[in-house]
Amino acid sequence: MFVVYKSSAGSGKTYTLVKEYLKIALNSPSPYTFKNILAITFTNKAAAEMKDRVISALAKLSKEKDEDGYDAGYVADIAEATGLTETDLRTRAKATFEAILHNYSDFAISTIDSFVHRVVRAFAFDLGIPLSFSVELDADKLLDYAIDELISRAGSDALLTKALVEFTESRTDDEKSWRIENDLKNFAYTLLDTEGRLNARKLRSLTIADILETRQKLEAFINRFKAEMVSIGTQALQIIENYDIPTDAFAYGKTGIGKYFIYLAQGRVDKFMPSKRNVVDIVENNKWAPAKSDYKDAIYDAANQLEPLFRYRQ
């Protein structure tokens, strides 16, 4: 059975969790029941706070009525939750408190990372890893090591070498640094987030040959797409020129649809998506020219030919 406690900060979630822990630990006559309880948190700070709260609660429940720190209200609350008499509660709390202090390493309130580390270490031999393994939590250091390992295989793995060489050449063609380590590292960061890990799992079945083939298909598609963009932009600029209209004479001037067609003719893939206000709206609302313009009639005549080109690129 799963029980979920959801509430805002400061509403008593930790108090409730401590109470649930105590119900399990104290409802058994054995003071060592705590060894069979696993509590997992997300951070070291939360784990430390949870341990402190459990220890403090047991210490408080161990006190006699005439001792300093005795809390009648708290004792009554835990007694009701556990179904124990106050005397039995005090006896068991004191025994559990002493058992934890003498067996603190078995007090299993920890982070998820710590718990998984303990499990892996227990099965290190079965997993085929050294018993003295250590866990590296520094993401930058981990990625640097992984990238160094990857690049060190260049020359011995033909397909990997081909992939790295092609990537380096693409960088130099774009007049960027041929040192690809930083690019690989920036890309690798995406593998550290949840979405990145999910997508990486989908790629595990692909070989380097599969990836190179996919890259070639993508490049071919991009080249066809750019060629089509350039064709549309060139045709549009020719129409504008035939009507002897300056490209900045359209609505919104230098940021209007005339400039958009220039971007298309230049093959600017990064400018393929037109501005909604300065381009899309003037086409949708048929407001191609400013209210006052010497080219107004020519612009609307040209618009009859330009609009199909604009819509075709969609």
Give one DSSP letter per residue of 238-287, joined into a string.
HHHHHTT--GGGSTTGGGSHHHHHHHHHTT-GGG-S--IIIIIHHHHTT-
pLDDT tens-digit readout, 97-133: 999 999 998 899 999 888 888 888 888 888 888 877 7
pLDDT above 80 (res 68): yes
What is the model's pTM?
Answer: 0.49
pLDDT reported for residue 297: 93
pLDDT reported for residue 143: 86
SS3 193: coil
Distance CA 104, CA 100 (A): 5
pLDDT tens-digit readout, 107-117: 999 998 888 88
DSSP β-ladder status, 39-41 and 109-111: parallel
Q: In percent, how much of the chain has pLDDT > 90?
A: 41
pLDDT tens-digit readout, 243-277: 999 999 999 999 999 999 999 999 998 899 998 88
pLDDT above 90 (res 298): yes
SS3 111: strand
